[in-house]
Amino acid sequence: MFDCSLNTLFSRGVEYWSSNLPEVCGTLRGKCFFVENIFPAQKNVHFIIQNMFDSTQLSTMGLTAQSNNTALVVAALKSSLASVDNVFVPDCYGHGFLDNRGFSRVTIRKTSVTSALQGILQQAQGVSDVRVYLQDSCESLDCNPTCANYSSHNSL
């Protein structure tokens, strides 16, 4: 019988990709694939890109996009990103972002992820020290109208 538990699948992925995870992951390696769990252990400059309603993250928590508890997940995500220098968190539903053909058309306050990445590159080159912190302020599913450009909507 094949074990499809989250921890087993992530452990196999870690082994397959020869990943090195920090001690904070412990034996529950799967939890380190979500930003709010792994970020506190990181020391480098980061640019976090994540959908506010990450379908995979919600499903691993036994939730759907319509669950009453999604507000708690959104609050936890926002709290965990408060100390991150650079983020792009649109209020979209789905998993995977950069591999989606519509990602460049999703905007937050009229700024696309492509423009945000250009700002990060300018930081890395020492041209700019401006923080790229773009996070939708709404908390209801797909309240950002540009999420319609993002074609990875999993079935709700």
Per-residue pLDDT of the chain (156 residues; tens, 9 = 90+): 667 676 677 777 777 777 776 676 666 666 666 666 666 666 666 788 888 888 777 777 777 777 777 777 778 778 878 877 888 988 888 777 666 777 778 899 999 988 888 888 787 777 777 778 888 887 677 688 888 876 544 434
Beta bridge partners of 49: 88
Q: What Rg value do the Cα atoms of the chain yield, rounded?
A: 16
Tell me the whole-structure pTM to 2 decimals: 0.66
Domain ranges of the chain: 1-33, 43-149
Burial of 156 by CB count in 10 Å (0-12 exposed, 13-18 middle, 19+ buried)? exposed
Residues 32, 96: Cα–Cα separation, whole Å: 16
Cα dist. 74→26, 89, 124 in Å?
24, 11, 29
User: In which element (H, E) is residue 48 found?
Assistant: strand 47-49
